């Protein structure tokens, strides 16, 4: 989902500074809400875990260039269901930054673009979760249909933002349109995998419900809202 160097350049980069700032501001609100609940330790642990997992998603799991960008298995809905929106958001941002600093410094100039592409779909997914997962349902008990809806929202959001940046930076020429379409088609295969990964991970998490490890996860994983 990285926007390649040279696609958005010059003055057009200013827009990404604004979108990244907006995403960062909303992240700060979520963090403050969790701090007010005196849930600082869980926030820190969830953030650390999300950061490590995001780095693994980017650097260790299979990834390959297609069209205008790269296809990565970024399991955003998995992070959200396990740790909640704030830790998942910070983890995505820090994991992306770590991957750029350590292995892909050529991606750092596009960091504000790429972090927007990750966080905006995450927040859209969190809004959807409040609507489709009843307050009395634990995240550990979500159905395949609910997991699929969350995954589709996140992954489709990533594709939509990549397409936006590509068209914004390079216009609607035939070559660019074809590159965007090929990327979008390839990225949709992640939707096939992610809901199954969600359910497998949640099934494993259920075994930790009555252990100290349960404190690593969002309270909603094991308790109703």
**Nearest to 201, CA basis, from 219, 187, 225, 217:** 217
**Nearest to 44, CA basis, from 225, 216, 210:** 216
pLDDT in tens, 65-78: 888 888 888 899 99
- How far is it, in rounded angstroms, from Cα 144 to Cα 91? 25
Report how far apart, in Å, the C-alpha atoms of 98 and of each of 2, 27, 94, 164 are: 14, 18, 6, 25
Helices (H), the chain: 13-36, 40-59, 76-83, 85-102, 111-132, 144-170, 174-187, 189-206
Identify the residue whose tokens are 């992640």: 190
Q: What is residue 104's predicted lDDT score, i.e. its pLDDT?
A: 87
- How far is it, in rounded angstroms, from Cα 138 to Cα 36? 22
Residues 180 and 167: beta-carbon distance below 8 Å: yes
- How far is it, in rounded angstroms, from Cα 198 to Cα 149? 12
In the structure encoding, which two tokens stand for residue 208, read together?
A: 């930790």
Domains of the chain in start order, with CATH, are: 10-220 (1.10.1760.20)
What is the value of pTM for the model shown? 0.94
Report how far apart, in Å, the C-alpha atoms of 142 and of each of 131, 146, 176, 219 are: 13, 6, 39, 15
Q: What share of the chain is helix, strand, coil (3-state, %, to 5)?
A: 75, 5, 20
Residues 68 and 177: beta-carbon distance below 8 Å: no
- How far is it, in rounded angstroms, from Cα 100 to Cα 58? 10
In the structure encoding, which two tokens stand for residue 154, read together?
A: 């996140």
Give the residue ranges of the chain where pLDDT is below 50.
none
Identify the residue whose tokens are 């995403």: 23
Report how far apart, in Å, the C-alpha atoms of 103 and of each of 6, 20, 69 are: 19, 22, 17
pLDDT in tens, 137-148: 999 999 989 998
Q: What is residue 203's predicted lDDT score, i.e. its pLDDT?
A: 87
* Host H or E run for residue 61: none
């Amino acid at each position: 989902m990285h926007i390649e160097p040279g696609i958005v350049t010059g003055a057009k980069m200013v827009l990404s500074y604004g979108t990244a700032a907006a995403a960062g501001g909303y992240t700060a609100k979520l963090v403050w809400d969790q701090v007010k609940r005196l849930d600082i330790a869980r926030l820190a642990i969830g953030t650390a875990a999300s950061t490590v997992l995001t780095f693994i998603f980017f650097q260790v799991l299979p990834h390959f260039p297609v069209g205008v960008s790269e296809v990565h298995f970024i399991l955003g809905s998995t992070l959200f269901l396990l740790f909640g929106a704030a830790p998942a958001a910070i983890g995505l941002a820090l994991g992306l930054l770590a991957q750029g600093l350590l292995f892909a410094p050529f991606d750092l100039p596009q960091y504000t673009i790429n972090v927007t592409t990750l966080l905006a779909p995450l927040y859209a997914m969190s809004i959807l979760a409040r609507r489709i997962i009843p307050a009395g349902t634990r995240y550990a008990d979500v159905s395949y249909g609910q997991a699929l809806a969350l995954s589709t929202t996140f992954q489709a959001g990533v594709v939509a933002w990549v397409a936006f940046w590509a068209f914004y930076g390079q216009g609607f020429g035939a070559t660019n349109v074809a590159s965007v379409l090929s990327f979008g088609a390839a990225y949709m295969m992640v939707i096939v995998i992610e809901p199954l990964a969600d359910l497998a991970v949640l099934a494993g998490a259920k075994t930790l419900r009555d252990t100290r490890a349960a404190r690593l996860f969002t309270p909603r994983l094991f308790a109703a809202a």
